[in-house]
Amino acid sequence: MKKGSLPPLTANLASKIVGIWMLKSREDVDAEGQILIDPFLGRDPIGILCFGPSHFAAQFMKRDRSDEENVPQ
């Protein structure tokens, strides 16, 4: 995403996003415009986003987690 201002949030837009969405992509960008890869989620995480009239919830997870990564140390 390029730097710039976003259009103002309107009630019409807010009502259109109510529902459950699957994450398509996720990027963190620093002040210089460099894309940062999240060390815990990796380059291509999976996620679900839930929008209600006055609430929001999101869950993210690293894609293709190996069994070894899930063993407590």
35 in a structural domain: yes
Residue of 45 and 73 predicted with greater confidence: 45
Domain limits for position 19: 14-63
The pLDDT value recorded for residue 1 is 46
> What are the tens digits of pLDDT across the range 14-66?
788 899 999 999 989 999 999 999 999 999 999 999 999 889 999 999 988 77
- Strands (E) across the chain are located at 19-22, 28-29, 35-36, 46-51, 56-61
Q: How confident is the model at residue 5 (pLDDT cuts 50, 70, 90)?
A: confident
Asked if residue 72 belongs to a domain, the reply is: no
54 within some domain: yes
Q: According to the model, what pLDDT value does residue 15 have?
A: 82
Does 69 fall in a domain? no
Does residue 21 form part of some domain?
yes
Within-domain flag for 40: yes
pTM for this prediction: 0.62
Whether the pLDDT of residue 68 is over 90: the answer is no
The domain tally of the chain equals 1
Q: Contact, 3 vs 33, CB < 8 A?
A: yes
Residue 48 lies in a domain: yes
Domain membership of residue 59 (yes or no) is yes
